[in-house]
Structure 1
Amino acid sequence: MEKILPLLDTRRISMRWGDMDAVGHLNNTCYFRYMEQIRVEWLDDIGYPIDPQGIGPVLGSTSCVYKREMTYPATVLISIEVEKVGRSSLKLRHHFRVEGDAETVYAVGEATLVWVDYQAGKTVSIPEPIRERLRAVGADA
């Protein structure tokens, strides 16, 4: 049984017709694009947009386990959950569901973000305001 993780947010993405592959379901590459989109939106919303002149996250690793096919039309619900917090890294888990079928998990993705000084090319600590947000949802930050 999968461990319940602290939830940061749930985002919605409308699947586009062109997101399907030749056999009529969501193309595997779109899961990674969707995860990227919700991370960028979440960072924007909490006041940490990507700024190539400052500090911010880079993708350290990512994965996705596909459980069931998603087909068009659908509004995809994707959770942002905290799996692990390190000094400079944040591991997130994402559950993919479809609006109207919130019980079924269609895929489970993971992404590890590493905070860096983009100009210096060196890791830095996750900013304290982000850590505070993580602690507020019960993450061990």
Structure 2
Amino acid sequence: MEKQLPLLDTRIITMRWGDMDAVGHLNNTYYFRYMEQIRVEWLENAGFPIDPAGIGPVLGHTSCSYKRELTYPATLAITIEVEKVGRSSLKLRHHFYRDGEPATVYAVGEATLVWVDYQAGKTVSIPEPVRALLRASGAEA
């Protein structure tokens, strides 16, 4: 049984016909696209949009474990959970469910975001407003 992690958000994505592979399953590349989309939306809605002239996250690592096939049509609920908070990095976990069916996990993804100064190309500490948001979720003491 997986440890319960602090939940930041759950996002809904509707699978499209063209998101399937040749055998009728959600193509493996779309799991990563969906995870990216919900992270970007979460950051934007939290007031931290990606600004190439400032500081923000870059993807340091990502992975996905496929548990069951997802087939069209499907409306997916994908979580954003906090696994670990470091000085400049944030490790997230994503669970994929069919919307309305939270008992069945279809995939589990992970992503490590590293905050950088985009212009200088150097890591920076996670900004205090982001840390405050993480503290509010119970992800950071």
Q: How does 1:1-141 map to 2 (within 5 A)?
A: 1-140=1-140
CA distance in 2, matches of 1:125, 1:16: 38
Q: Distance in 1 between matches of 2:100 and 2:55?
A: 38
TM-score, L = length of structure 2: 0.98
The list of structure 1 runs, each at least 4 consecutive aligned residues, that deviate by more than 6 angstroms after superposition, is: none
Q: After superposition, what is the alpha-carbon deviation per residue over 1:61-97, rounded to whole angstroms, capped at 9, x for unaligned?
A: 0000000000111111000000000000000000000
Runs (5+) with no aligned partner, structure 2: none
TM-score, L = length of structure 1: 0.98
Amino acid at match of 1:140: E
CA RMSD of aligned residues (A): 0.7
* Alpha-carbon distance in structure 2 between the residues aligned to 1:132 and 1:55: 17
Number of equivalenced pairs = 141
Partner AA of 2:24 in structure 1: G
CA–CA distance in structure 1, aligned partners of residues 17 and 113 of structure 2: 30
CA distance in 2, matches of 1:12, 1:21: 21
Gaps of 5+ in 1: none
Shift of 1:102: 1.7
Q: Secondary structure at the match of 1:32?
A: helix
